Copies of this chain bind each other. A is one copy, B any other.
């Protein structure tokens, strides 16, 4: 961390800051510039919460962190890219992976039909929610354990590995007994109690970026899972909240190359929740493939007009097949 002194800072104030830095266990490296003295605080602890307090000391203008706050998630800590296995499917390797399925599991028929659509289109993993975090307490909250059983049944029947959301730390054991990957939703990106719990799971975790989570905070949330012992984390960009209301959220596709530079973890994109409208899902999916994502998670529903949630953003089967054709063209073009 660097501490920048005000240009009117007295020698006494500079000395006091140096003493204070040393009193909390760091080494002080002052450096006198033309207009300002700056003081480096050198040490090996990443929790610089205490040093941040320096901004309250007399004569201090501001503090600036030097080190990234995450360690295990950073490229520096891990050579090459992490490839995460979800059943037999590998995410983060050469193949572009598509996860498809309905927003909510509504019945065995609905999920099975969705799975057949997913397979026919060429998707490799099935999604479906049994626990649904809904803004309104009056909205459908999911089939819960019944839904998990349906998910497992359909997975066995179709041989598709599955991913489903978990929203309560108390449910992690139950959910991982039925599904191949645990999903942390956008409203739980900083639900640290839940992150620690999935950090103890043996199953891989799909960690969505919250709609107001910075890229650095997303990596810190991944760090919670990694430092709890679970190395299999997949990051997912799904749109951030901005002033623009023409789409439900603003899909931040720049986050993909930025994350690829900062971390070894795989990065996929969820265009359905970001856009909030099925018409934008196909172009945004093409863009996600072109920008360099490792895969996609997309909502498909055999009869969107009867979906209990998010029907508006779900693709009909024929649109999904069209999407998969267009994706194949782009990913093939990119390989050359």
Contacts and interface: CB of A to CB of B under 8 A. Distances in A.
Nearest to A139: B47
Given A2-B64, A76-B8, A192-B133, A250 B246 contact: no
Interface stretch (A107-115, A116-124, A145-153, A279-287): A279-287
Interface of A: 2, 4, 6-8, 20, 29, 31, 33-36, 38, 40, 42-44, 46-47, 49-50, 52-53, 55-57, 64, 66-67, 69-70, 76, 133-141, 167-170, 187-188, 190-193, 196, 210-212, 214-217, 220, 223-224, 227-228, 240-247, 250-258, 261, 274-275, 277-280, 283-284, 286-292, 304-305, 307-312, 326, 329-330, 332-334, 336
Contacts of A138: 46-47, 69, 227
A283 B289 CA distance: 10
Contacts of A34: 42-44
Nearest to A244: B214
Contact of A29 (B31, B47, B274, B310): B31
A324 to B, nearest CB: 14
Given A212-B212, A214-B246, A329-B333, 13 more contacts: A33-B40, A38-B40, A46-B138, A52-B311, A52-B312, A57-B305, A167-B193, A243-B243, A254-B280, A261-B279, A290-B330, A329-B334, A333-B333
A242 B246 contact: no
Nearest to A42: B33
Contacts of A258: 246-247, 280
A148 to B, nearest CB: 16
A280 B278 CA distance: 27
Given A64-B2, A254-B251, A55 B312 contact: yes
A53 B312 contact: yes
Given A170-B170, A251-B253, A287-B253, A277 B55 contact: yes
Nearest to A249: B254
